[in-house]
Amino acid sequence: MKILIIGGTGNISTGITRLLLEQNHEVVHFNHDKNCNAATIGVRQIFGDRTNHLEFEKNMMDAGTFDCVIDMIGYQPEDAESDVRAFRNRVGQFIFCSTVDVYTKPARRYPVREDAERNPIPAFSYAHNKARCERILEAAHHPTDFPVTIIRPAATYNDTWCPLSLIGPGPAFLKRIRTGMPVIILGNGQSIWVSAHRNDTARAFAGAVGNSKAIGKAYHATGEEWITWERYYEITREVMQAPPLKPVFIPARLLARMAPEAASWSDWNFQYNNLFDNTAARQDLGFQFTIGWAEGVRRMVEYHDAQGNIDHAGTDPLYEKIIQAWSKVEKQAIADMAD
């Protein structure tokens, strides 16, 4: 099959590309980075600006038709509208990478299923706009003219990332764990989160390509280890054989107010339980969760140690400032109640 990936060099899309090439599909990327090395792995590239919709639609018209298009970088309603104009009657299947963040938080029941309410707050613009994109594509869906499939990943990482660093770069966070420095944990650390390695998440996308069962449907492609935030940190410590954890528990809403630019997602998203039912993706798409968090940490640490990134990571001034400010407040509150 001839498959176009819009934004094919990112986190999840790199895994999708590898799987599709292994299955002997013809893969084309549309992206803006002329310095990327996608061509070296047998991928044809089309360069352009995704947000310049007139140019994008012309580029797609010039590129001809595709058996499948996978949009990995549609973030705004205007992007979805442009997709409809560019590919209606010109694609065998259109797959949209959405997100589990489209669901209303907190959920009314767990695990969340694909038919749950999707009404994220406008302040959480990433989720709010993804939900609007979904509605546009669902309205345009037609089994022959514009066949749509939606896939909703949750937190997805790869060997080079560290998704637990709520503030600051991942290697600096791993250094804090390794050296026994205090680490910030949301709330009381007991809300439950799921994460998945991109190699697992990519399998759902590859399984949807050319799959008639997937037409007109939405699927989760998330982690299946239901782990508290505190346990995520503790597993990381165990894998690194680091000193005992020194948690600094900070209410999520307060953390977001202390560092509104760096920690706003803590209030809108991270404080809530995130548990999802992957049954449909397992049954229809062949999705499998194979890489647990401990193995994911081992891979991340191995990668960053090979680069010297952890031991040479600097200290994030904002991270330290937050801990110091919270420690003062905590001590003062205790002292005030002791009077």
- pLDDT at residue 40, as a whole number: 52
- What CA–CA distance (Å, rounded) separates 114 from 152? 9
Per-residue pLDDT of the chain (339 residues), as tens digits, is 999 999 988 899 999 999 999 999 999 999 987 656 555 577 999 999 999 999 999 999 999 999 999 999 999 999 999 999 999 999 999 999 999 999 999 999 999 999 999 999 999 999 999 999 999 999 999 999 999 999 999 999 999 987 777 888 889 999 999 999 999 999 999 999 999 999 999 999 999 999 999 999 999 999 999 999 999 999 999 999 999 999 999 999 999 999 999 999 999 999 999 999 999 999 999 999 999 999 999 999 999 999 999 999 988 899 999 999 999 988 888 888 987
Based on its alpha-carbon atoms, the radius of gyration of the chain, rounded to whole angstroms, reads 21
Crossing angle between the packed helical segments 125-140 and 77-87, to the nearest 10 degrees:
30
| 124: amino acid identity, one letter | F
- pLDDT at residue 232, as a whole number: 95
User: CB-based contacts of 140: which residues, under 8 Å, 6+ apart?
Assistant: 84, 88, 146, 148
Homologous superfamily of 2-157+197-221 in CATH? NAD(P)-binding Rossmann-like Domain (3.40.50.720)
- pLDDT at residue 125, as a whole number: 96
- What CA–CA distance (Å, rounded) separates 159 from 253? 30
- pLDDT at residue 315, as a whole number: 83
Length of the chain measured in residues: 339
Place of tokens 């991109």: 198
**Domain 170-194+224-275+291-331 = CATH 3.90.25:** yes
- pLDDT at residue 184, as a whole number: 95
- pLDDT at residue 247, as a whole number: 95
Cα angle vertex 46, ends 41, 50, to 5°?
120
Structural domain boundaries in the chain: 2-157+197-221, 170-194+224-275+291-331
- pLDDT at residue 34, as a whole number: 63
Other Cβ atoms less than 10 A from the Cβ of 88: the count is 13
- pLDDT at residue 36, as a whole number: 60
Q: State in Å, rounded, how far the first CA of the chain is from the last one.
A: 74
Query: What separation in angstroms does the CA of 32 have from each of 10, 83, 183, 284?
Result: 12, 17, 37, 33
- pLDDT at residue 104, as a whole number: 97
- What CA–CA distance (Å, rounded) separates 268 from 61? 39
180-216 exposure pattern, b = at least 16 Cβ within 10 A, e = fewer: ebbbbbbbebebbbbbbbbbbbbbbbbbbbebeebbe
- pLDDT at residue 165, as a whole number: 77
Q: Indicate whether this model's pTM tops 0.75.
A: yes
- Tokens at 123, concatenated: 């302040």
